[in-house]
C-alpha cells in the first residue's frame, strides 16, 4: 500500500462524515468545492486527497454522494465492524464504557480489563470487567482488534505491551505518554489536555494582540 500522509487519512474521515450528512439530507451529488468548504480546506486539497486512491468524480459533474461515501468507507476499512476493549476501568474507562454510540460507527465494545481486583467482575456501561490475566483468552475469544488504553501514564507502556502480546493491533492511547509498539501495531494518541494547552497558547496570543492594539 502507498504511504498515505496521516493528515490525508484524517481528512478522509472528515469527508466521510460530511458525505454521511449529505446522504442523510438526501443530497445525491457533491463537488470538491462543497466538500472543501465543509471541511475547511481547499478544493485542490480534496482532489489531491482523493487522487491517492483513484478517480471518483467526473469533471464538471462532481461526485455521486452514495458512491463516494461507499468508496471512502472501503478505503478507511469501515465496511466491517471492529471489536473494541477498554484497558483501565477508572474514571475515563468507565465514561468510555458508558458512551452509547460506538456501535453506530461499527465499533463494538466487547470487554474491559483492569488490574484492580475490586473492579474485576463488575459490569459497567454494558461490559464486564475482566482481570488483566484473562486478556489473551478474551481477546482471541471475541476477536478484539482495538483497545482504548486508559491506565495511568506510568502503567501505559507495560499495559500496551500486554495488549499487543494478546493480539491487539490498534491502540487509542488516552494516557499522556508516548508508547512504543512493534511494527504492524498502530497507536493513535488522544490528549485533550494537550488541546487545552494549545487553546491557552492561542488565547494568550490573542490577549496580547488586544493589549497591543489598545
Ligand atoms: P483512574 O486512576 O481513575 O483509572 C485508571 C485505571 O487503570 C484504574 O482502574 C486502575 O486500576 C487501572 N490500571 C492501572 N494500571 C493498570 C494496568 N497495568 N493494567 C490494567 N489496568 C490498570 O484514571 P483516569 O482518570 O480514568 O485516567 C486514565 C488515564 O487517562 C490516565 O493516564 C489519564 O492521564 C488519562 N486521561 C486522559 C485524558 C485525555 O484527554 N486523553 C483525559 C483524562 C484522563
115 lines ligand 1 (CB under 6 A): yes
The number of beta carbons lying within 10 Å of the beta carbon of residue 19 is 24
pLDDT at 207: 55
In the reported structure, the alpha carbon of residue 1 is separated from the centroid of ligand 1 by a whole-number distance in angstroms of 35
88 lines ligand 1 (CB under 6 A): yes
Strands (E), 105-208: 107-114, 123-124, 127-131, 146-149, 170-173, 186-189
CA–CA distance from 46 to each of 76, 77, 163 (Å)? Answer: 16, 19, 36
Residue with cell 473494541: 84
pLDDT at 104: 86
What is the dihedral sign for C-alpha 75, 80, 85, 90? positive
How far apart (Å, rounded) are the C-alpha atoms in residues 101 and 209? 41
Best probe residue, ligand 1, of 152, 177, 179, 190 (max atoms within 8 Å of C-beta): 152
In the reported structure, the alpha carbon of residue 90 is separated from the centroid of ligand 1 by a whole-number distance in angstroms of 6
175 lines ligand 1 (CB under 6 A): yes
Interior/surface letters 164-199, b for 16+ CB within 10 angstroms, e for the rest: bebebebbbbbbeeebebeeeeeeeeeeeeeeeeee
The number of beta carbons lying within 10 Å of the beta carbon of residue 97 is 22
State phi, psi for 37 to the nearest 5 degrees. -65, -45
How far apart (Å, rounded) are the C-alpha atoms in residues 104 and 183? 30
How far apart (Å, rounded) are the C-alpha atoms in residues 205 and 214? 14
| E strand or H helix at 102 | none
90 lines ligand 1 (CB under 6 A): yes
In the reported structure, the alpha carbon of residue 160 is separated from the centroid of ligand 1 by a whole-number distance in angstroms of 13
Helix axes 32-39, 6-24, angle to 10 degrees: 110
Best probe residue, ligand 1, of 86, 91, 92, 154 (max atoms within 8 Å of C-beta): 92
Q: pLDDT tens for the chain, 214 residues: list them.
A: 568 999 999 999 999 999 999 999 999 999 999 999 999 999 999 999 999 998 887 777 899 999 999 999 999 999 999 999 999 999 999 999 999 888 888 999 999 999 999 999 999 988 999 999 999 999 999 999 999 999 999 999 999 999 999 999 999 999 999 999 999 999 999 998 999 999 999 998 765 544 433 3
State phi, psi for 63 to the nearest 5 degrees. -115, 145
In the reported structure, the alpha carbon of residue 155 is separated from the centroid of ligand 1 by a whole-number distance in angstroms of 9
Closest by Cα among 115, 96, 91, 119 to 107: 96
In the reported structure, the alpha carbon of residue 84 is separated from the centroid of ligand 1 by a whole-number distance in angstroms of 17
Amino acid at each position: 500500500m502507498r504511504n498515505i500522509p496521516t493528515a490525508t487519512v484524517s481528512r478522509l474521515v472528515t469527508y466521510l462524515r460530511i458525505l454521511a450528512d449529505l446522504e442523510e439530507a438526501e443530497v445525491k451529488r457533491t463537488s470538491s468545492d462543497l466538500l472543501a468548504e465543509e471541511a475547511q480546506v481547499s478544493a485542490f486539497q480534496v482532489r489531491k486527497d482523493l487522487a491517492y486512491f483513484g478517480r471518483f468524480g467526473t469533471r464538471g459533474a462532481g461526485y455521486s454522494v452514495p458512491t463516494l461515501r461507499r468508496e471512502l468507507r472501503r478505503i478507511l476499512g469501515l465496511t466491517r465492524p471492529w471489536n473494541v476493549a477498554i484497558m483501565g476501568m477508572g474514571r475515563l474507562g468507565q465514561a468510555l464504557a458508558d458512551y452509547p454510540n460506538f456501535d453506530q460507527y461499527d465499533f463494538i465494545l466487547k470487554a474491559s480489563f483492569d488490574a484492580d481486583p475490586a473492579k474485576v467482575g463488575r459490569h459497567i456501561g454494558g461490559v464486564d470487567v475482566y482481570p488483566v490475566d484473562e486478556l489473551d483468552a478474551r481477546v482471541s475469544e471475541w476477536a478484539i482488534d482495538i483497545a482504548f488504553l486508559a491506565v495511568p501514564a506510568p502503567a501505559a507502556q507495560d499495559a500496551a505491551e500486554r495488549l499487543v502480546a494478546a493480539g491487539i493491533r490498534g491502540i487509542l492511547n488516552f494516557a499522556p505518554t508516548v508508547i512504543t509498539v512493534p511494527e504492524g501495531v498502530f497507536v493513535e494518541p488522544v490528549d485533550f489536555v494537550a488541546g487545552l494547552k494549545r487553546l491557552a497558547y492561542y488565547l494568550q496570543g490573542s490577549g496580547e494582540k488586544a493589549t497591543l492594539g489598545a
